[in-house]
């Protein structure tokens, strides 16, 4: 059986600055190449999820490769982040403080490490995000 790690996911976005603000401010992910993107030196910025994984934010000019007639989200149902209990609780507090509604949960869900507790919410461009902890 092949064992792999996720390198990155790509989100097609219409408002890069709003998404950077959300992923950096609300989710507290570290920005990557944001200033180089703003200077026009690289085609897109990224947000660091962990040492091995980033989320690329593709501006509309890069959506052509998705083959989509619509905003390119046809293959993304949601993505899931796992957090330790302290960070998961802190995220729930930040979501509430920023007026981000939890649409589902907390609820038990099965995942890569068995059953954990998840909440689901959306970013400013309506991507569905799951945040899970296995530490209850």
Model confidence at 76: pLDDT above 80 = no
**Given CA atoms 50, 51, 52, 54 in this order, what sign does their dihedral have?**
positive
Who wins on pLDDT, 24 or 2?
24
Identical fold for domains 7-61 and 77-136, yes or no, is yes
Domain ranges of the chain: 7-61, 77-136
pLDDT tens for 53-68 read 999 999 988 886 544 4
Does CATH place domain 77-136 in 3.30.70.3000?
Answer: no
Residue 85 has pLDDT above 80, yes or no: yes
Fold of 7-61: 2,3-Dihydroxybiphenyl 1,2-Dioxygenase; domain 1 (3.10.180)
**pLDDT tens digit sequence for 89-126:** 999 999 999 999 999 999 999 888 889 999 999 999 99
For the whole model, what pTM was predicted?
A: 0.80
The confidence score (pLDDT) of residue 2 equals: 59
């Amino acid at each position: 059986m092949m064992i792999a790690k996720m390198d990155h996911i790509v989100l097609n976005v219409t408002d890069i600055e709003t998404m950077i603000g959300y992923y950096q401010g609300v989710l507290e992910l570290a920005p990557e190449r944001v200033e180089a993107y703003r200077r026009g030196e690289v085609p897109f910025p990224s947000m660091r999820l962990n040492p091995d994984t980033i989320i690329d934010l593709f501006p509309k000019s890069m959506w052509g490769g998705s083959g989509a007639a619509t905003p390119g989200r046809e293959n993304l149902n949601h993505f899931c982040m796992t957090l330790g209990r302290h960070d998961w609780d802190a995220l729930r507090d930040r979501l509430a403080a920023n007026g981000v509604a939890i649409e589902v949960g907390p609820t038990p869900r099965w995942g890569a490490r068995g059953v954990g507790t998840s909440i689901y919410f959306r970013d400013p461009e309506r991507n569905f995000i799951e945040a899970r902890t296995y530490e209850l």
